[in-house]
Structure formats: C-alpha cells, structure tokens
Amino acid sequence: MSNFPFYLAAFLVVLGVLIVVHEFGHYAAARFCGVKVLRFSLGFGPVLWQKKLGRDQTEWALSVFPLGGYVKMLDEREGEVAVEELDRAFNRQGVGKRSLIVAAGPLANFVLAILLYWGIFMYGSQELLPVLGSPPVDSPAAMAGVRNGEQVRRIDGEPVATWNDLRWTLLQKAVDQESVELEVINEQQEISLRRLYLQAAGEGGWEGDALLRLGVGFYRPKVPAVLGQVVSGGVADLAGLKPGDRILAANGKAIQFWHELVGKVRDSAGSVLHLDVERRGELLALDVVPEAFAERGQTIGRIGVAVADNAELHREMRTFVSYGFFAAGGKALAETWDKSVFSLLMLGKMLTGEVSWRNLSGPVTIADYAGQSARLGLDYYLKFMALVSISLGVLNLLPIPVLDGGHLMYHMIEVVRRRPLSERAMELGQRIGLSILFVLMAFAFFNDINRLVTG
C-alpha cells in the first residue's frame, strides 16, 4: 500500500500527458483549418477549473474524471451558430478538413512516441546483452541446443545488440513464422546456429510470457550457493548463518547454484525455510524466516546475505547503446511503426480467437506498469509512455463509431456516397460504438480485478 501514491502519480502523469497531446492534435488541426474551438477539456464531468483565453475566448478546463478529454468545436448540430461564424463551424468544412481534424489526435500520439524514442535513442541507456540462460528441459530452446552463456548475435540474419532487441524480434517473428535461426557465440568465441521453433509462443492465447514458453531466459551465472556477506542483525545472522557457509538444500530440495537459493528465499516471505548448510566440512540444519518486502507490486522474501565473490560474477552483462541524430530518428520511426503494426495484429488475432481476451489491460494494470517503469528509471518510464501513446493512437483509429476511426469511416462513406450519412444512421452507429466500447472496458476491468485477486 506504501507504493500506492507513487504508482498513482506515475499513472496520472502518463495519462495527463497522453490526453493533452491527443486533444491538442485535434485543437491544432482545427485552428489550422479555421474552425472555432469553444472548449479544450482535460477530463470529463463537473469542471474543477476553467479559464477563457485567446481571440476566440476558448475555454480551457480541467474536469473531475481524468480518463479522457475532448475538444468542443463550433457546430450547427450542437447549437445555434451566428451567421457571421458559419464558415468557422466544423460541420460546414469539406470532408478533407474534417478528416484532418479527426485524424490529428491519433497522429499526435504517434508523433509523441517518435519524439520520445528519438530522445531516448540519442541520449542512450544501459541495456542488457542478449545472453541466454540454461533453458528448461524439453523446451523449444533446449531442443534447439541453446546453452547457458551463449550470446545471440543475429536472428534470421538481423543483428541483435540487446536483450530488448532479442525479445522484441522473437515476439514479432512468432506472430507469423514457425521458426527462426539464431546465430550465437559462446565464451570460447565459437559461433553456432540454433533453429528455434516458435509455435509454443502463442499457446494459451499468448497469455503470460511468450519467451518463457519458448524456454528463452536471461543468463544466470553458475555461481555456487556460498555466502560472502551476512548483514549484522539481519534475518540470516540471527538464524546463525555465517560468511563461507555453503547452502546444500532448502526445504529438502537440493541447491547447487546461487540463483536457486535466491528463488527459494524470494518465494518464502514470512515462512520458515529449512536450510541444510555445510560449514568447514560440518553439516548443519538451520531455520530462517525470510523478511517480507514489497517489490514492483509483489511481496518477496529477503534474508540479508550476499554471494561470495566468483569469477563468473565479473562477466559484463550490460552495454551502453546510443545513436546519432539521424540514426536515432530512423530507429524511432521504425520502433513506432513496428509496435503499431504489432498492436493491430494482436487485436486482429483477438477477434479470431488466436489471442486471449485476458491480454486486455485496464487502468489498474496500466497504473501498475507505470509505477514499475518509473521505479526502474526515467528511460524506462519514457519508453512505457511511448508504448501507451502508440496503443492510444492505434485504438482511436479503429473503425468503431464514437472513436476517431469511426468518424473517419463515416467520412469515407460520405466520399463514396457523395453525401453525409443520415442523422439516424449516425445515431445508430454511436449506440453500436458505445456498446462495443462498454464490452471492451468490461473485459479490461475484469482482467484488472482478476490480476489483483490472483496476483
């Protein structure tokens, strides 16, 4: 609960920025096309604050419910318009201008994503290298022959520089390919090719971690479970553990490597953990109760110990990645395009039943991710903001009445028919659109609640 204010603030900042950018796109396009803007509102419902500004005395407002916003333009369908202002009414504009004003909102979200990625790629960041860990037995990665410590150089001939590159490329390929060829290099600088089959990625409707189903995980150094430091007065110290102790088993399960001990401790917050310990040739049995800590919305256990120094720990696992001005711009455009296309593909597969509707996320899950990314650092937070901005742009362009894409669909029909749809037809479309949105929101909220309950 102590994380709640931070997570809420991170969520509201993302939401506020994306809504303002989206609505400012509509506003700027309307002004460019000579349409009078009556109100620019961040949020819906009762107005908390408002101020009239500019030659047109546009009302800038902040409203109670922040999950959205709107730009109200002069329009004969919504009230009387003075004769001298008829040429500035939205409904009096040609279909081209009206379409530009409608499309400008989602386009502004895509532009924001491009600018955010551009800045991130130019500034640079520390990234994990694409080094693979030991895959689970019988997983696709194990059957491909992947070994612990191998670094991926290329996927189907495409260079891979970071773990994020590896993850994103595999997800993209898994949508429409049966397999990929991994070019890997081991610590002896030997290069090998691995054929990784991808069908398992989409099992269960793509729910959960697709890479985990493929058996693709990050490198875990083969470090013995030997204690290097024990925090004075900590849980481990009070239980009698000392530097140099080697953990042989936890709750009867053999422990060989440090990461196995870490996993056991993290999963045993507040529960007794029975440890078999070797100390200078003597076998001991000690009980320790890991202390509970909150981390990224989950409760984990800690006992206050650090691993003994080992040569495996000194392998460099990170690299600093940055790009020049033009290279960063090109990569930002490609990143935005690829993620937009991927979002559309996933939505299409939801409609055909290939992707589970449980992948839909509502405001609770988005707020959780916003808080987690903010805790990881500014670059992670801005990348998250860019991703949500892309999602918002894609969602608003869907041909659903009440969304921007629905209005663009009406305009396309108007071009074909050479006259607008009737008020009755548009009213019916609005009802259908609201029903579709209600169903989508219900699914998203249900998924949020389900994630909260099941963890």
Among 23, 150, 183, 335, the active-site one is: 23
**CA atoms of 376 and 397, how far apart (whole Å):** 31
**CA atoms of 230 and 239, how far apart (whole Å):** 11
**CA atoms of 447 and 429, how far apart (whole Å):** 27
Residue indicated by tokens 């290099």: 185
Query: Is 74 within 8 Å of 36 (Cβ atoms)?
Result: yes
Pairing mode, strands 179-185 and 151-155: antiparallel
Query: Is 201 within 8 Å of 215 (Cβ atoms)?
Result: no
Of 200, 221, 220, 206, nearest to 141 (Cα)?
Answer: 200
> CB-hemisphere CA count at 13 Å for 413?
14
**CA atoms of 160 and 152, how far apart (whole Å):** 7
Residue indicated by tokens 């909220």: 445
Confirm whether 354 is a catalytic residue. no
Query: Is 27 within 8 Å of 54 (Cβ atoms)?
Result: no
State the catalytic residues: 23
